[in-house]
Amino acid sequence: MTRNGRLPRTRRQLRFAVSAEGRRALLYSASDIEVLDAEADRTHPFLSRLGPDILSQSPSASELSARLGEARFRGRQLGALLLDQRFVAGLGNYLRAEILFEAGIHPRRRAADCRDEELERLADRIIALTRRTYRTRGITLAPSRVARLKAAGAKRSEYRFWVYGRDDAACRVCEGQLGVQPVGGRKCYWCPSCQPLPEGGDQGSGHL
């Protein structure tokens, strides 16, 4: 997103631009572009399967909690499910780790194994963190904690995340060692103490 008349310095090829109210959305280096009206959007073979968009469709926490209980989703590991755009559209790798941390849920747990209050807390965190990172341009840490770290001279990289990319650091809450291992085909970060895996659960082959 840029102001009209200003282009970022890049060698990538500009493929598509939309201008409105003094700003432009620019799309670079895309290989396949489709411009759709509202009806085509609803019937598109891929877009029609996307889950709700937290920023534009405003689903409630109770609606997301109920969605977690649907047969097609409840048997999936949550660390993988949160990357599935059919569940919720727009979540990426760092958001899933941060959401699960704030919810206190291990990424290898399934919705089917969680208590109702855990699913409600997870649904609430999906909404709250997605909207927080939109407002803060990618910062997931609680605003009060960010303010304290900034006052102490911390750099943005030092106050941006709870757990994502911090497997070589201590948990900000319990000060224990953070963990990382592949979940859903991508590295997932969590705190073994704050997000325990119930006895008998499979933690995979990652190291803490």
Q: What is the mean pLDDT of residues 102-115?
A: 96
Domains plus CATH for the chain? 2-30 (no CATH), 49-190 (1.10.8.50)
Alpha-carbon distance of 131 to 2, in angstroms, equals: 20
Regarding beta strands 179-183 and 2-3, do their DSSP bridges make them parallel or antiparallel, or are they unpaired? unpaired
Confidence of residue 15 (pLDDT cuts 50, 70, 90): confident
| Backbone dihedral angles phi then psi of residue 189, each to the nearest 5 degrees | -110, 145
What is residue 17's predicted lDDT score, i.e. its pLDDT? 85
Alpha-carbon distance of 116 to 65, in angstroms, equals: 8
pLDDT digits (tens, 9 = 90+) for 136-188: 999 999 999 999 999 999 999 999 999 999 998 999 999 999 999 999 999 99
pTM: 0.79
- 179 has which bridge partners? 190
Task: Annotate 172-208 with b (16+ C-beta within 10 A) or e (fewer).
Answer: beeeeebbbbebbeeebbbbbebbebeeeeeeeeeee
Least confident of 44-48, 89-93, 204-208: 204-208
The SS3 of residue 117 is helix
What is residue 50's predicted lDDT score, i.e. its pLDDT? 84
Confidence of residue 1 (pLDDT cuts 50, 70, 90): low
